Structure 1
Amino acid sequence: MMTPIALTIAGSDSSGGAGIQADLKTFAALGVYGASVITALTAQNTTGVSGIHQVPAEFITAQIDAVFSDLAVGAVKIGMVAQPASIDAIVAGLTRWSPKHVVLDPVMVATSGDRLLAAEAVDALRTRLIPLASVITPNLPEAAALLDEPIATDEAAVENQGKRLLAMGCRAVLIKGGHGQGAESTDYFIDAGKTITLAAPRVATKNTHGTGCSLSSAIASGLAKGEDMETAVRNAKAWISAAISAADRFSVGRGHGPVHHFHKYY
């Protein structure tokens, strides 16, 4: 039997709650072997990002080739890619190795509000990386930023933005409603044929550091295990909701603490 393997291409979070660290914890929690390609080192904690050190593009390439030349990668999750040269390296690597599934989390702003993506990288994300994605997972502000529009405030506007993001070339879009209001946190899954509404009770916790990273990694985990896209998205939504619900079992840091990736185990 093949071991399901997922690869995360993302930035490192020194405090362990988001980025590569959250992705590897997610893969492990969901029974998938995780590999990583690090695009940037961040100096950050639960209160914010104090520094970003970019990994040179040629070393991103070296990591991608090392992983794919040896491991049978079932799905790739892409997180923080802060500069156009990194995006070029990733696009070339994915084109060279053509993995079956690519989950793109267009990380532009950290949970703390810190901007993580340079303006010139946004255009490269739109035109080069999105067309390679099986699914992209923007939150409401990220979806708006990708389209240069105001944030959607009702279901019709969200669906409309989702369809326009699809037109950029990805196969599916999951717009996350965690930044919305109301008793439920509603995500919208949109592909060529349908729109599915995925609602979960909104959890009153400030411990939401790394939720976006973890959700996209959970989707990649499902795809690596052979689930179809809709099943992977539904299972990932249920898992992240449980991880957020259990977040207050942790006491980590003074700001936005992490979710509980291993809520099923302790």
Structure 2
Amino acid sequence: MSKQVKAIVITGYGTNCEVEMAHACRLGGADRVDIVHMSELLHGEYRLDDYHLLNLAGGFLDGDDLGAGQAGAHRWRYATVKPGGELLRDQLYRFIDDGKLIIGVCNGFQLMVKLGLLPGFERRYDHRLVSLTHNDSSRFEDRWVHLRVEPDNPCVFTRGLEKLYFPVRHGEGKFVCAGEGVCSLLQENKQVVLRYAEAESGEATMNYPANPNGSPGGIAGICDPSGRLFGLMPHPEAYLHRTNHPRWTREELPEEGQGVLLFKNGINFIRDHLL
């Protein structure tokens, strides 16, 4: 296998954060980063097999007309790659089976749960166990939020991190489970990675606006049992430099934004385990 870390960022059909995601991968240490339109995957011009990190960026896939990420999930599940006629989902499942990484942000997270990639119990992706639905406020929320990183979670992207501060930009961000058993298993497996938190105490919260959507337990991001598939509603790619911070003129901040840390962790994992 090549010694270069290769990242692919998917765009098209309403995605609008692909440039920031690609920049985050570069800052995180990826050697090659390609922004690839979904149609280029379907026409066989690019293949997931050639990459180590799959980035599913935010946006408004297909206008969210069937619900956030739903139409996109059907495309990933049933579209065929030409020439050859391989189902795109077969490339995706092979990518996962090869031990590679996926990060889905906002609309990308919505896509992952609609595809059944998360929570990914026993690597079963054939039905949906969790989803993201309309915010309790019944409106689009655009604000910065404090996040608590849950201790002992297996997520490779958040290793060594305890607190984060990222913006949210969504209308459908409330995390819901198909039943109490699903939520319990998420907790038992420590698959809840991020929770919305109060600024002062750092404790998980249900209070608006610290919790912008009403997610039970303040759930803001989860991973699969391996920790290699990670979805979150807040946007790490929107905080890559201190000037992205809303108070950068009033606070002493590190030059590097916190969002870079997630991508560094993922890319370091690839160097340690996949090259």
TM-score, structure 2 as length reference: 0.41
> Hey, which of these two has a bigger chunk of helix by percent?
1
